[in-house]
Structure 1
Amino acid sequence: MQLDHVNFETDSKTTHDAFHSRKYDVSEFGQIISACQSLFNTHFTNSRVEFTRRQANEVAHTLAE
């Protein structure tokens, strides 16, 4: 399945930076990020992963609690 123009937002700067990093991380977190990158590149076109400050996305933060 291929999805087009899907924007993902995270309020975790660490996750955002790791997702966009070209460095290989052997930690468990790095392996999860690598798997997410692989799925993202396989199933999403013209899509983005963006960092959004928690204060700017209060509704999503409240729903996630």
Structure 2
Amino acid sequence: MRLVGYRVEVIEFVGGEHTPRNLMIRAVKTDAKPDQLDIDRYLEITAQWGITPVLEKKLSTLNIR
């Protein structure tokens, strides 16, 4: 999400002792330009895993491939 101009925070909203599914992603659109290092890391990780994340497909403005 950072690659398409969002400020992103991951928030734990319920203690881990109660449930393993307790993370929320909060994102605010800022129109910030992506850092080339972030783009390179993202491409490296997705290539290593051989995946295209659904979020990348949903945020079609990414256009980094």
Same fold flag (TM > 0.5): no
| Richer in helix (by share) | 1
Q: TM-score, normalised by structure 1?
A: 0.30
Q: TM-score, normalised by structure 2?
A: 0.30
